[in-house]
Structure 1
Amino acid sequence: MTRNPQNERILLELIKKGDQNAFGKIFNIYYNVILVFIYKLTKNRMQAEDIVQETFAKLWAFKERIDINRPIKSYLYKTSYNLYIDIYRKSLRAKEMLKELYYQKIISLTEEDDAIKEKKMALIEYTINELPPKCKAIFMMSKFDGLTYNEISSELNISVKTVENQIGIALTKLRTALKTQVF
């Protein structure tokens, strides 16, 4: 069926009475047109399809209120656009909430009590000093001197695997010390 105002008026009258075939015809005429319109806004095919389906669901849900003297195309464009705007606003609110939580977390981390920082640093220093001498030397070369595992391996004449194992041991001891300590 082509777009003809007289035919549309007849279809709208039938839809108002609950005629599903008439609804199907309107759906077939306008689905792709509205989908293209909404896709240009969302740039997301699935979201656009959801909005268009919701638009037609609203048309059916409020079929008794249809004004047969107004073009159905206008109703569909307006309804789909309003649904898009609602989703867009919710998305902005969600982004703002996440941004606020992010900033609050950063502030709370940066405002950590200096005494706690000092206690943590002292614990880290103590734990490093308690490492076996070889493990401590390898860890210091990696983390403080910035040497790669290959460079440490060459300098100490040990395998890269030994370097990896020793650094793993040091990190495990540091994590354990920090986890078990209450600040």
Structure 2
Amino acid sequence: MSSAEDALLLWDLFKQGDWNAYTKLYNQYFKLLNNYGYKFTKDINFIEDAVQDLFVKLWTTRSNLGNPLSVKNYLYKSLRSTLFRKLQSNSRFTEIQDDNSLPFEASFDQAVIATEQEQELRVKIKVVIDKLPARQQEIIYLRFYESFDYEEISDIMNITIASTYKLLYKALHSVESVFKDSNISNSF
């Protein structure tokens, strides 16, 4: 059974009121959700509060919840909405479309770096990604670091699938342009 199937099984048990299933879901996704939240704000306490709020809301509304195709996708989308709602209510809301100051931190702790050269390249790629607009950073994170497919990204970012393709293409084109302009590719 895959981890996605395990998550769906836990989800079903959680909806029936199984506290152990709920805590397993929480433990399984807490770190991933915090890492995703960090893409929108560096306020760790704020992110943790948002994740806590999300799980409290899930528990209290569990009898009304549907069965998502992907628990991970559902939680990411829900956290994104929760964060935006909390940011807006705290008058710290930042328009994601035009703000280049939103943070992007690549999750390098998930991969073992085989060589020094590979590590250098990863740092250079991060520098390039940091120069992208926030939505382009977000789509790269969701597609390449979290391995979401286009439909899931479309759902999370609340854009059409066609817009998802266009935004990712634009982000990759921007990365390619920065690489060419900065001679990063020439150092390897």
**Greater relative contact order (CA < 8 Å, ≥ 6 in sequence):** 2
The structure richer in helix per residue is 1
Work out which of the two has the higher radius of gyration on C-alpha atoms and give 1 or 2: 1
Give the TM-score range, shorter chain: 0.3 to 0.5
Q: TM-score, normalised by structure 1?
A: 0.46
Q: TM-score, normalised by structure 2?
A: 0.45
